[in-house]
Amino acid sequence: MLHFTSRFIDSTPGDPLSDTRSRQVHGALWSRVQPTPVSAPRLVALSPEMAKLLGLDEEALRSEAWVRVLSGNALEPGMVPYAANYGGHQFGQWAGQLGDGRAIGLGELRAPDGRLYELQLKGAGRTPYSRRADGRAVLRSSIREFLCSEAMHHLGVPTTRALSLVASGDAVVRDMFYDGHPQEEPGAIVCRVAPTFLRFGNFELCTSRGEVSLLKQLADYTLTHFFPELGPPSKEAYAAFFSEVARRTAKLIAHWQAVGFVHGVMNTDNMSILGLTIDYGPYGWVDDFDPDWTPNTTDAEHGRYRFGNQPAIGMWNIERLAVALMPLFEGDESVFQAGLLEYQRTLNTEMTARYAAKLGLSTLVDDADVERVNACLAWLAQEETDMTLFFRGLSRVVVAPTAPTVFPDVLREAFYGPVPEPHLARGLQWLTSWWERTRREGADPAELARRMDAVNPKYVLRNYLAQEAIDAAHEGDDSKVHLLLDVMRRPFDEQPGRETYAARRPDWARSKPGCSALSCSS
């Protein structure tokens, strides 16, 4: 018998009303809601690791009874569905109340590891926070969220997880390109899992409304349940909490930078208080290493959330969180400064450590090493070069008995087109110097290669791969979703026979919607 709890609902103030009409909800951190049933739920995919972690039997999850729960058509005993109230800064502007407009928390389940995990349905229907939208999600964006949450997890990047993907059997109308051509698309529901889905925006909303006592209750709830190591609530504990969120956020973003993940919508309502990757929307993976690239068409003009700008935006968002938490710091500005410093310090250390490891170096020992990393990144950005293939290929170069004297074929594969000779010559020069530097690591080159292969993934969820799986699913074939999920379970392993999933983005996908450009419409 499963036992669901709802600590958030039990211990923090909620909305006394239960009608789902769009409205401003004051003095409350959540609203009770009910998922809106769908007409013909069908399980499209499950994450076996997530089921296991939760102690749920895969076969049982495939049963009609569970699929009803995973689609919002039924509740398990003890589930208390709710939508959280939060605000946020969107594209640099305060947007006021946002809230869970289509995500519905079901309750927390105690897993065999002793921890509590919250289950949440995304796309389960309208809530008081839906504004003018329908509370639903389309299959294409649900496939993307499902696959990417699990792919990120297997890469070791902190993230919310996905247990299941259910097709609803109902159509959802979306104007995918925002060009006045709305179309019906299949709807779907993802069951997401995380210790908590609280965001920076939950804290911001309280402070923006001067609801300081509510802010304090939210902070105390968060501290008590998710940061118990910081001690009972006090000014010092709030300060430590802020620094810890800053540290986790910096760590997270350094990790994104190291694997080539671009979130696409780093609004403060999409920033997890636990430092998890959250809300997979128009995200993308850089194919060619281009710091200016953003997958999000809504952001194409200003590129606020472009690949190379994510670290700076993380800092901007941490500042917004600081402003939100300020009432708890009792006017002590030094807390604010300490947190920002923590962010910068962690970002530097983490970026350095991750890029050193990508190059097979245990640490960057001097300025020459720092310059080595910078030169590599600058060179990569000059000509269209696949980030994943380039770094993965380096482990083949490191095991060569001598420094390269010609540009290695394994790295030529990373280029998207012909490259000028001088660029190759500069690349070779860099490689030679790097190869010589690796000999000072005092480790067997084969061991260096193993270490590099353990941090430079072979398989990432390339945008076009996800799009191919979506196109097939739209034709009724879910097998590509299953196959991709399976490939992404072992991103660092050679998987004989599956090399095509590690290949460069094909030319046809260069500017195809879904493969290089995504809208927020989901």
First to last CA, the chain: 35
Residue 321: partners with Cβ closer than 8 Å, 6 or more residues away: 200, 203, 204, 242, 245, 246, 268, 271
- Judge whether 101 is annotated as a binding position: yes
> Do the Cβ atoms of 158 and 255 come closer than 8 Å?
yes
**Residues binding Mg ion: what is the number (CB under 5 A)?**
2
Matching residue, tokens 């290949």? 503
- Judge whether 486 is annotated as a binding position: no
Q: Is 112 exposed, middle or buried (0-12, 13-18, 19+ CB in 10 A)?
A: exposed
Site string for Mg ion, 278-297 (x = CB under 5 A): -x------------------
Evaluated on CA atoms 510, 481, 488, 176, the torsion sign reads: positive
Catalytic site residue from 19, 113, 179, 269? 269
Closest CA to 184 of 170, 171, 167: 171
Site string for ligand AMP, 364-383 (x = CB under 6 A): --------------------
- Judge whether 296 is annotated as a binding position: no
Which lies closer to ligand AMP via its Cβ, residue 233 or residue 295? 295
Site string for ligand AMP, 112-131 (x = CB under 6 A): -----------------xx-
**Interacting partner of 166 out of Mg ion, ligand AMP, none (Cβ under 5 to 8 A depending on kind):** none
Strand partners, 161: 193
| Interface with ligand AMP (CB under 6 A), residue from 89, 102, 144, 504 | 102
Q: How far apart are CA 1 and CA 407, in angstroms?
A: 61
Which lies closer to ligand AMP via its Cβ, residue 269 or residue 350? 269
Under rule CB under 5 A, which residues in 385-424 are in contact with Mg ion?
A: none
> Do the Cβ atoms of 249 and 270 come closer than 8 Å?
no
Indicate the DSSP class of residue 300: T
**Interacting partner of 521 out of ligand AMP, Mg ion, none (Cβ under 5 to 8 A depending on kind):** none
| Interface with Mg ion (CB under 5 A), residue from 243, 270, 296, 297 | 270
Indicate the DSSP class of residue 35: P
Contact call for residue 211 and Mg ion (CB under 5 A) = no
- Judge whether 96 is annotated as a binding position: no
- Judge whether 125 is annotated as a binding position: no
Query: What single letter denotes the amino acid at residue 241?
Result: F
Stretch near ligand AMP under the rule CB under 6 A, chosen from 42-50, 93-101, 229-237, 344-352 = 93-101
**409 tagged catalytic:** no
- Judge whether 199 is annotated as a binding position: yes
What tokens does 294 get?
């953003």
Contact call for residue 281 and ligand AMP (CB under 6 A) = yes
Query: What single letter denotes the amino acid at residue 142?
Result: S
- Give Cα 224 to chain centroid, integer Å: 25
Which lies closer to ligand AMP via its Cβ, residue 41 or residue 99? 99
Number of helices (H) and strands (E), helices first, in the chain?
17, 13
Residues tagged active-site:
269
Q: Which residues are annotated as a binding site for ATP?
A: 99, 101-102, 122, 134-135, 192, 199, 279
Which residues here bind Mg ion, judged by CB under 5 A?
270, 279
Which residues here bind ligand AMP, judged by CB under 6 A?
98-102, 129-130, 133-136, 265, 269-270, 279, 281, 520
